[in-house]
Structure 1
Amino acid sequence: MQHVHAKHPRFWTSSRPTNHQDVGDLHTEEDEEPPADPYHSVPGSDTEVDNGVQPAFIGPGNNSFRNYHPGLTGQPCNANGDFLPNGTRPEPRQPKPPDDWSPYSSCLEFELADFIYTRSQISAANLNTLLELWAASLAGWPGGKPMFGSYKEMYRTIDNTRVGDVKWQSFTVKYTGDVVANPVPWMHDEYDVWFRDPHEVVRNMLANPEFANDVDLQPFHEYNTTDSTRRWQDFMSGDWAWRQADIIAQDQDCFGSTFVPIILGSDKTTMSVATGQNDYYPLYLSIGNIHNNIRRAHHNGVVLIAFLAMPKTTREYASKDEFHRFRHQLFHSSLSHILKTLKPGMAKPEVTPFRDGHYRRVIYGLGPYIADYEEQALLTCIVRNWCPRCLAYRNNLDNDDALHRCRDHAEMLITEFALDALWNEYGIVGELVPFTNDFIWADIYKLITPDILHQIIKGAFKDHLVEWVEKYLRLTHGDSRANEILDDIDRQIAAVVPFPGLRHFPQGRHFKQWTGDDSKALMKVYLPAIEGHVPPEIVRTFRAFLEFCYLMRRNVLTEKDLDDPDEALARFYRYREVFKTMGIITTFSLPRQHSMKHYKQLIQLFGAPNGLCSSITESKHVKAVKKPYRRTNKYHALGQMLLINQRLDKLAASRVDFESRGMLRGTCLSTVLNRLANSWLGDEDQPLASASIDESQGDCEDISGPRVEAHVSLARTRQWNRATAIVALADELHIPNLPDLVRAFLIGQLYPEDTRDPTEIPYLKYPRYEGRISIYNSAISMFYAPSDPSGIGGMRREYIHAAPTWRQNGPCYDCAFVITDPELQGMHGMDITRMLCFFSFKSEGICYPCAVMQWFDRVGDEPDEATGMWMVWPSFTRDHQRNLAIIHVDTIFRAAHLIPIYGQDFVPPEIAPCHSYDAFNGFYVNKFVDHHAFEIAY
């Protein structure tokens, strides 16, 4: 390996229910794509359609263009539904005064209610105490008066909010089938279903100004400007929305309307408490028009609309077929009843106000349903272990010739075959009727979405592959030796260095209760831990599987991007045969692994899978179910949870309303200070700074703001107990030649065109710096990472640490990607460094934010063949000294995560994560730590 003296990075920038309605007993019962016409007009109009964009439109970033659907164009109209000429401004609506905070009396009152109820979530008793203390503090002030007299007054004010107000309703369901001679208890029980009118919820979403720049009014096809290849991102870019628009546009009354697909999602969730197990069955709603980033960020883009009933009975009857069929049909009948208010708008357009002030004619349609495999089987009324999308036989799911399921074919089979033949030959439960049969243009088999979290991560990865590795070890080495190896794998996982957003496993993976977050975290660190303990074919199996998963999570996928997952999937199928050869498993006919075959087609239909993943509904559980449940008194908790959710929605809607009217700028304190300053100074344009919290408590977070590819800055808080001069810092870091490194850095900054090595420049010509410096324990990296949890604009923030002590767990010196050649892509244009110190100094009026770091050398010119990850080791000079340098923070891209190359030797138990970078000689650059890192290093 050739050692290098130095590397020169280039500068780079970059508890009560309301409105109860007892409805009584509930009684229920791929075409070719036509060519798009880029020019179209509204029937009966001589003007070209104008909906804010042209049929051919340069897409985001000016690197793509779009062809919009010629029929459903989202043409603005008036309140009567008459289409408007081009350029017509929205009809004026009754404006609200800029000081109208109703139902609150002031900005302070709203901010207080929002803070207490939404963010701090303190109990009513503690709230009363807080308000009493506030009242006492104001008692000596003339006219001093607290905002609310008690918690009841604050709750009453929130309840009086009319913006975004959709009341909870309920209906009762009971069994109405044939009753046996000795009826069982569940046949007489009544089940309450609580819901909110989905029609009103959707209208509120369409009128929400928060989505102003993140709504698509038409289906479209998007292409790269460079090579005209197709690309898929948000839902309306998929073929399903276009084909539905083709069908709807055949009705001339629908021409020029806006198609609004209704996206549903449901998933049972459990809260285990000391008093027992509490199960809830929430139903969520979104619309296909909003962008994926809105849906993932939950900015009111995913709304809780119902709690479905969960019938229970005694053990004697729980396993009976009659009870199972009743539960399943109850699910479908409830969905049909909840969604019935949308039916009129599915057959005939209705006029609806939008967030831009225009009215539009809207036509609704049932869109995809977000669900895990068990829920998909329930939705499609199929037998477990069959595929919900195709007719592949359950014992031969790898059959590539299987036809796709469709509603017409299923109904024909139900008409022609007996129930047992349907069950055994086609996997159809003939007694059940899908809820989609009650709605026009709806085919449940075509509405099943890709589910990365439950099908792939929790299913194929954790439940299959990880378990197969343990079976392999026990089969090969016996239980005793296998336990030793598994303990070593756990120690390797526990020794991994912390990283922003990475869940730590202090005891490895040896715990019983797994969540989706646990499975996602294990995926990021598992591959290097098993290398050396399993054959290379198993390592390659995991690599192919992980690469398929991460490729599927890309925010934008092109035709080329769809070829890469196919190649990874082919490798996965090829290498996984090792498990069958070794006798660990007899068949790969597994529905969750089989579902991976359908992902390419599902992307073409629905856009990028990360916008329809069950991780969206699972994370929504925390806000809509788990946290509200913890705020209840646990007695008849559901009614309290409904009220809590309604108040949270009202507060969120009020904030959006106030912000859209320009009434929420800065903080309450800054507003008051500016007002006082204006009265004192007579200058209304001179804002005063207010106190604010600068540092985040976490290591990473999603942020809003303008999109930038990447930007790094030093933390705002300097360390007062650290060195204040270069010489002192050299002693602190044990780097005697640090002053020389500073001079070399200044030469690169002052004379960027000088290509000589700094050692060749005469010493007397070196620029010198002997002034004060400021030391920082971290730097803040902000970058565009829409495939990971991020803000609405796709921005994410993380902290890169270089601290001698961090959270009382020892030193923390993180690694980072540094741009060394911006002309090259990926790791070919970057190097890995380890940050030893962040500092800044000012020379000749210029402030230089810097980092002292050690270089890593790449092992080879390509990633490791088995793991697919780049390998690096610490770089040393020819005289065996650490290869150090000082760089400008603008050359840092973001943090990098390294995992040791453990090999076959067991890891000592005393190795702590904070010492991992010092205890090993070689490392993998972990491209699986998050999806942004994968895109960098892939």
Structure 2
Amino acid sequence: MVYDDQGLTMEDEETGDMGGAIDEDPGYMSDDLDDDDMYHFIPMEPEPGEGEAGPGPSTHRNRRQDAIYRSLDDDDDARVTDEHPSAGRCIQMDKHLHDKYRQLFGHGSEDKDGDILMDGTEPNSYAPFASELDWRVAQWAIKDSPGHAAFDRLLDIPGVKEKLGLSYHNIRKLHQIVDSIPERAGEWKTKHLRFKDRPGEKFTIRHRNVIKAIQSLWGSPELADDIVYVPKKVFSDSSRENRIFSEMWTAQWWHVIQNLLPDGATVAPVIIATDKTQLTQFSGNKSAYPVYLTLGNIPKALRRKPSKHACILIAYLSVEKISRAQLTQQEHRARGQRLFHESMRIVLSPLIKAGKEGVEMTGGNGEVRRIHPILSCYVADYPEQCLVACSKNGTCPKCQTAAKELQEMEGHEPRTQKWTRDIIIDAKNTSNTLTQFHSKCMDREVSGSINTPFWTDFPFTDIHRSITPDVLHQLYQGVLKHLINWCRRAMTPAELDRRIRSLPPAYGVRHFKNGITALSQISGTERKNMAKILLGCLAGAIPQRGILAVKSILDFIYLAQYSTHDSITLGYMEDALNLWEANRVFFLETGIRGDFNIPKFHSLLHYIESIKMFGTTDNYNTELFEHLHIDFAKLGWRASNHRDEFPQMITWLSRREKLTSFEVYLSSSHYAQLEHPLPISQRLPISIAKFPNQNKSLSAIEVSHHAPGFERALKEHLNLFLTPRTSNQTAALYPLPFKKLDIYHQFKFHPSSLQDDEEESDIVKAIPISKTNPHGRFDTVIVLKGDAAEATGVAGTQVGRVKVIFCLPSKLDYGLGPMDAPPQWPQGPLAYVEWFSKFKASPGNHGMYSVKKTDSPGILPLVSIVPLTSIRQSCMLIPQYSLRPAVEEQSWTTDTVLDSASSFLVNNWQNMYAFQTIY
């Protein structure tokens, strides 16, 4: 063979042992994932020629087009859950769990039989710290990082450490105490890799035992009550025809794997993420290559919260540059890819034996189970997906489609590990040079740089299936980026910017005051804000086919982010793809594009399959792991002296993790001593400031809030509570028994979320005019009007503009002294609303409803006083622009457009909640 001279050798920094690469036949999975007969994965060691990869999107016929998965009231929830009958069996209970935690932190010892021995005295629960105050100061010094010199100067002040009772006199002594706390996630090790033909060039990998990291998550008291051990099938009702996908344990993959394991075994779906990140901001080229791990057993809502510590950093891969001396560009690239795979083999190889045989682990609740940690999902951006899956750059890492055929919507044969390995082995056996090997692999859409992929021996894993959708980079920074650029060409950039500049303000939507044409280095957040306003700004500017093409992509992007899916919503995603296929020809006919052979557009075809396999996309979105760069890379870098930084970063991170582990131990210990846990407070649907912003006269309110009909509307509203009821005309003549009202400038609205694990919030503002704000701000909202309103759709609602937010006084003045307000008057906050026209029966071809103002020259708009609780959500109105704008339209600004324009589109892309409500 011709590859030995460029092989990688491994040297353990602690022992100096040399190791080699593993190169054996892989295990893989079958493609039969039918819901009724879904346990047919090919065995772990298949015979040659067996095994195919997973299904493509299926067709959902005869589904209800008027339905979407809704959040249900407790009385209406007809969902049925079927748990796997033999999964997650508890082997035994660890009776000494809490005592072992105490021993871990030096509060006891263990005899030869494993029993915990205490010395008979009451231990200091804060040891190794002297007291709670000693511990709290240490926690502040490590986590808030006031600076070593500053901390030493503080303790040097006479009497400070004595009066606080501190057990340390400087930061060095504090670090020694913290370093004595055991590392629950495993000690860090350093290993070096060298190419055999360049022994003087070494590449450093810093990692810890992946099994220890999994055990630390599994045994965390903080997560003990939330970890799930059993896969479940969830259906919308007892007919079991409509399956619901959300968490990873509700999807197909876990069920299939469970049936390949012995009865009682527990699956630990391992989610791995790698993403190289820049450490320096403005100058320098320092970078880090972290590897993150989390488990699918942990609910996704907890995985997304860094404060829950449900994700662990398990490695820093090498970032040393490979010398280009005497190497062609192809050879240099090949060495970089080979280095990555050998590094990941070192980091993840313990999963091979543990996945096959299982490992006994104790949960944070003391339950002992036999755990099989199995690589389920690999989270990465597109270049790294190709690197991990050994696919040719420019092709799909999940299917065999050639680069020039990516635009085809059907007929994509899936890749499998066996297919990829067979191509690599065949190329190795029939090649005499590296160039021949590279060419033969590339001709078959496989990377020609990697001899032995790291995932070769992983049990029950197919790396191509494990590659998951990437909402951030594929949808927003890929598909949407292309789409916006094409739309700029379909209409002039100047016209698009003019429309964007004049959009009214709305909660959750960024205002691009200079348009978007001149922006560079656009972030994912900015792309998301562009998506919210794009279609409304295109309406009337490009032909219907172009509108439908853009709408189909936006539909898909938003649907792909649902936190819960079922066969109906997955059908909507399929409909969006079909609509795109039918209308994308617009960009071809106008010469904007020549083809759609773009990998990120092609990736849309695999979203439905991945959601069925692993649950909704928020289980494995790259945004979560990119956020972890702050804590696990950037802050550690800043805390170092920027010279030989990685050992310092690891030490800094370890100390913080040890304090976090100690904090969890303390909280779980104290929680266990409570007979009745403290109740969890619930958020009210409406929140408003404790004190009003202003107390104004009625006449001043009408002027400063542009509300000329406010006083009359208030009289008519209060007349409804008179006994006997008086006609509105008579009531309008009576003077109100108060002259001033408490005015609020905003309120927060917390609607019932469609997500079980999160709460949505909304803000509505009614800011009066002032010298600094000559136009004020008066937001538009959707208000419930009648009993016809449902969880989704616009029936029973109407758009209004909130002009005044106020509360009625509790004391009135009828001229005879203060009197209590009538008890039948509304007790909560109210809003003065100017109405827009009612919704039409159906939206336009762009999917947005149109509304008009109800006023005309000389005639006041229709108005009402409504309780804040009847407001459903804020909404954004986009003016209906003309194809050839008049001078008046060209003068619209974000502050005046709601007053100047007469007809609007209701933007149902304002936020995810709005989309799910109006769609």
Give the TM-score taking structure 2 as reference length.
Answer: 0.80
Q: Deviations over 1:414-436 (max 9, x none)?
A: 44455434321343537432211
Report the CA distance shift for 1:423/1:744 in structure 2 as closer, same or farther (over 3 A): same
| Cα drift, residue 711 of structure 1 | 1.0
Q: Deviations over 1:829-854 (max 9, x none)?
A: 32222222322233346732122232
Tell me if structure 1 keeps the 8 A contact 2:409–2:605. no
Report the CA distance shift for 1:874/1:238 in structure 2 as closer, same or farther (over 3 A): same
Aligned counterpart, 1:224: 236
- CA distance in 1 between counterparts of 2:883 and 2:822 reads 54
- CA distance in 1 between counterparts of 2:309 and 2:687 reads 32
Bigger mean CA deviation after superposition, 518-527 or 105-114: 105-114
Aligned counterpart, 2:21: 28
Aligned counterpart, 1:124: 148
Aligned counterpart, 2:499: 492
- CA distance in 1 between counterparts of 2:738 and 2:673 reads 44
| Cα drift, residue 208 of structure 1 | 2.2
Q: Name the amino acid aligned to 1:933.
A: A
- CA distance in 1 between counterparts of 2:734 and 2:13 reads 81
**Map of 1:203-352 to 2, 5 A cutoff?**
203-225=215-237, 227-228=239-240, 229-248=242-261, 254-298=262-306, 299-313=308-322, 320-352=329-361
Report the CA distance shift for 1:901/1:399 in structure 2 as closer, same or farther (over 3 A): closer
Q: Name the amino acid aligned to 1:468.
A: W
- CA distance in 2 between counterparts of 1:566 and 1:90 reads 53
Aligned counterpart, 1:681: none
Aligned counterpart, 1:74: 88
- CA distance in 2 between counterparts of 1:498 and 1:745 reads 29
- CA distance in 1 between counterparts of 2:627 and 2:34 reads 36
Tell me if structure 2 keeps the 8 A contact 1:784–1:795. yes
Aligned counterpart, 1:396: 405
- CA distance in 2 between counterparts of 1:849 and 1:302 reads 43
Report the CA distance shift for 1:543/1:322 in structure 2 as closer, same or farther (over 3 A): same
Aligned counterpart, 2:193: 173
Tell me if structure 2 keeps the 8 A contact 1:22–1:170. no
Aligned counterpart, 2:695: 723
Aligned counterpart, 1:712: 686
Tell me if structure 2 keeps the 8 A contact 1:37–1:70. no
Q: Deviations over 1:303-329 (max 9, x none)?
A: 222111134245666762222222112
Aligned counterpart, 2:126: 101
- CA distance in 1 between counterparts of 2:859 and 2:168 reads 69
Report the CA distance shift for 1:872/1:33 in structure 2 as closer, same or farther (over 3 A): closer
Tell me if structure 2 keeps the 8 A contact 1:707–1:794. no
1:559 corresponds to 2:574:
no
Report the CA distance shift for 1:34/1:498 in structure 2 as closer, same or farther (over 3 A): closer
1:797 corresponds to 2:805:
no
Report the CA distance shift for 1:79/1:66 in structure 2 as closer, same or farther (over 3 A): same
Q: Deviations over 1:398-449 (max 9, x none)?
A: 1522221112233333444554343213435374322111322222112111
| Cα drift, residue 727 of structure 1 | 5.2
Tell me if structure 1 keeps the 8 A contact 2:361–2:370. yes
Tell me if structure 2 keeps the 8 A contact 1:211–1:355. yes
Report the CA distance shift for 1:540/1:414 in structure 2 as closer, same or farther (over 3 A): same
Q: Name the amino acid aligned to 2:377.
A: P
| Cα drift, residue 260 of structure 1 | 0.4
The partner residue of 1:407 within 402, 417, 420 is 417
Tell me if structure 2 keeps the 8 A contact 1:36–1:67. no
The aligned length equals 816
Cα RMSD for the two superposed structures: 3.8
Q: Name the amino acid aligned to 1:373.
A: Y
Tell me if structure 2 keeps the 8 A contact 1:715–1:780. no
| Cα drift, residue 246 of structure 1 | 1.4
What percentage of aligned pairs have identical amino acids? 22
Aligned counterpart, 1:816: 781
**Map of 1:667-706 to 2, 5 A cutoff?**
none
Counterpart secondary structure, 2:828: strand
Bigger mean CA deviation after superposition, 915-924 or 102-111: 102-111
**Map of 1:422-433 to 2, 5 A cutoff?**
422-429=441-448, 431-433=450-452
| Cα drift, residue 116 of structure 1 | 5.7
Give the TM-score taking structure 1 as reference length.
Answer: 0.79
Tell me if structure 2 keeps the 8 A contact 1:531–1:903. no
Aligned counterpart, 1:853: 833
Q: Deviations over 1:877-928 (max 9, x none)?
A: 8962132322211112232233333333569887553444334333332222
1:890 corresponds to 2:900:
no
Tell me if structure 2 keeps the 8 A contact 1:90–1:358. no
The partner residue of 1:461 within 456, 480, 483 is 480
Bigger mean CA deviation after superposition, 603-612 or 768-777: 768-777
Report the CA distance shift for 1:529/1:235 in structure 2 as closer, same or farther (over 3 A): same
Q: Deviations over 1:662-686 (max 9, x none)?
A: 46999xxxxxxxxxxxxxxxxxx9x
**Map of 1:637-652 to 2, 5 A cutoff?**
637-652=645-660
Bigger mean CA deviation after superposition, 646-655 or 120-129: 120-129
| Cα drift, residue 157 of structure 1 | 4.9
Bigger mean CA deviation after superposition, 811-820 or 489-498: 489-498
- CA distance in 1 between counterparts of 2:649 and 2:505 reads 36
- CA distance in 1 between counterparts of 2:15 and 2:903 reads 67
Q: Deviations over 1:356-389 (max 9, x none)?
A: 3322221111111011211111111010111111
- CA distance in 1 between counterparts of 2:717 and 2:906 reads 27
- CA distance in 2 between counterparts of 1:916 and 1:213 reads 52
**Unpaired runs of 5+ in structure 2?**
1-11, 23-30, 40-70, 103-121, 431-436, 811-820
Report the CA distance shift for 1:838/1:155 in structure 2 as closer, same or farther (over 3 A): farther
Counterpart secondary structure, 2:765: strand
| Cα drift, residue 235 of structure 1 | 0.7
Q: Deviations over 1:56-109 (max 9, x none)?
A: xx99954422212233x21222268xxxxxxxx997756868972344445555
Q: Name the amino acid aligned to 2:148.
A: A
Report the CA distance shift for 1:125/1:777 in structure 2 as closer, same or farther (over 3 A): farther
The partner residue of 1:870 within 849, 864, 870 is 849
Tell me if structure 1 keeps the 8 A contact 2:704–2:769. no
- CA distance in 2 between counterparts of 1:447 and 1:706 reads 39
Bigger mean CA deviation after superposition, 906-915 or 519-528: 906-915
Aligned counterpart, 1:3: none
1:830 corresponds to 2:797:
yes
**Map of 1:620-659 to 2, 5 A cutoff?**
620-659=628-667
Bigger mean CA deviation after superposition, 629-638 or 166-175: 629-638
**Map of 1:564-575 to 2, 5 A cutoff?**
564-575=572-583
Tell me if structure 1 keeps the 8 A contact 2:705–2:767. no
- CA distance in 2 between counterparts of 1:91 and 1:103 reads 20
- CA distance in 2 between counterparts of 1:469 and 1:151 reads 58
| Cα drift, residue 823 of structure 1 | 3.7
Tell me if structure 1 keeps the 8 A contact 2:183–2:654. no
| Cα drift, residue 32 of structure 1 | 5.1
1:527 corresponds to 2:555:
no
1:740 corresponds to 2:765:
no
Counterpart secondary structure, 2:695: coil
Aligned counterpart, 2:52: none
1:449 corresponds to 2:429:
no
| Cα drift, residue 165 of structure 1 | 5.2
| Cα drift, residue 822 of structure 1 | 5.0
- CA distance in 2 between counterparts of 1:511 and 1:565 reads 31
Q: Name the amino acid aligned to 2:668.
A: S
Report the CA distance shift for 1:226/1:771 in structure 2 as closer, same or farther (over 3 A): farther
- CA distance in 2 between counterparts of 1:814 and 1:489 reads 24
Tell me if structure 2 keeps the 8 A contact 1:59–1:65. no
Counterpart secondary structure, 2:830: strand
Tell me if structure 2 keeps the 8 A contact 1:286–1:303. yes
